[in-house]
Structure 1
């Protein structure tokens, strides 16, 4: 009888990384309507969401493969309480930066429901339908860029003895990078899938914050791979 293989080697930059399947989870960062859907916060603010839309299909393949292999899937959701108390107050940097995007503003949702920008239990903070959580998945709400700041994420992962994080989501240079940095500080090995992360901030047609963040991550905070290599590593 062939023994079950727990370790996989994932082709990545700056070098391949060995991952213990029994201690690996897939992290989905902020793939929610306010960031990646028409009528959401980014779209209403005139921010191009096409980069986020383009990574949905590859991300869905990764999630399907992860669930099939028995890997935990953990979602992060950026959301605030209805009274906005967890924004830090009117004078906080977080509130100031988000005021221009209308955090807390009442807006009609495309599905006819009443919506509020970045407020929990609304259409705005629902996960994109194509990536909807399934039974057994975990959802961790957050109210800052990092998924570890004042959340249960570290407990969720340590309770499951997770050491390796395969990271997907948006935006690459803000919530993804913030979360990866904090994960590395806590001893997690992070692999960011380049074609499953997205960034609407572009410097020019040749350079993007997405590419800059991936370079920083592979040099100092983790590893970078892609969906094809990750799925193949699970199949192999």
Structure 2
């Protein structure tokens, strides 16, 4: 009995090789795999960037917000075009403030919560779900396919699904921008570092609350928790790899 070989099936292609880019960075350049990298945009909300928002009301300077918003928009567009996930963190509380009872430190330390308690006219209006203050600024409105992770603490990892979102996509490198550099951005970067992610802070797309704090955060990230790069350097690296 003669045996015949089966007809060859359709040829299968090898999976494409991972794409890598090398970012100019401090304290040294960092090479990352594009497919393992995500952009994390921290709290780019009216509360932190707009006149009449919570940060402005409690006395912090928001005059530097426009160029930070513009650079973040350019970065987000470049990352979407390169196929990187774009993840928004959005900070705030429910109208009944169930996330911030008096037994929690945030009840005592949140400037927004303290301001609302001291100024009845603003009760329920600052970083409260469904309010203008809580909304992401229009110039950075999330696009189809972007991911929004709500949070009620400084760090994007505290009590959120962020780590699950990243792990399910096999993300290892986080490009981080947003506000405030010395509070929610730095807290998120610190927690990312402790969870074995590689954080890269994009300095021209961040803004601090308080004088001198941008430099302090950049020092901490460069020397202890990650790398510093810029939006222009990131865009150039992504374009070179396109």
Q: TM-score, normalised by structure 2?
A: 0.87
The higher radius of gyration belongs to 2
1:134-161 deviations in whole A, cap 9, x for unaligned? 0000000111100000100000101111
Aligned to 1:235, the other structure's residue is in SS state: helix
Q: Does 1:23 align with 2:36?
A: yes
Cα distance change, pair 86–105 in 1 and its aligned pair in 2 (3 A): farther
Segment drifting more, 57-66 vs 92-101: 92-101
Show structure 2 runs of 5+ residues with no match. 1-15
Show structure 1 runs of 5+ residues with no match. 109-114, 203-207
Residue in structure 1 matching 2:109, options 97, 104, 108? 97
Q: Which residue of 2 aligns with 1:83?
A: 96
Query: What is the distance in 2 between the residues matched to 1:118 and 1:101?
Result: 11
Query: What is the distance in 2 between the residues matched to 1:105 and 1:74?
Result: 34
Q: TM-score, normalised by structure 1?
A: 0.89
Q: Which residue of 1 aligns with 2:198?
A: 189
Residue in structure 2 matching 1:40, options 48, 53, 57? 53
Give, in angstroms, the shift of residue 200 of structure 1. 2.6
1:59-118 deviations in whole A, cap 9, x for unaligned? 11100100111110000011111111101x22533112224332796649xxxxxx7111
Residue in structure 1 matching 2:214, options 191, 201, 210? 210
Q: Please show how residues 133-172 of structure 1 align to structure 2 within 5 Å.
A: 133-172=142-181
* Alignment root-mean-square deviation, CA: 1.8
1:143-190 deviations in whole A, cap 9, x for unaligned? 110000010000010111110100000001110000000000001001
Give, in angstroms, the shift of residue 51 of structure 1. 2.4
Q: Which residue of 1 aligns with 2:137?
A: 128
Query: What is the distance in 1 between the residues matched to 2:99 and 2:132?
Result: 19
CA contact 1:52–1:200 (8 Å) conserved in 2: no
CA contact 2:182–2:209 (8 Å) conserved in 1: no
Q: Which residue of 2 aligns with 1:229?
A: 233
Q: After TM superposition, what 4+ stretches of structure 1 lie above 6 angstroms from structure 2? A: none
Q: Which residue of 1 aligns with 2:74?
A: 61
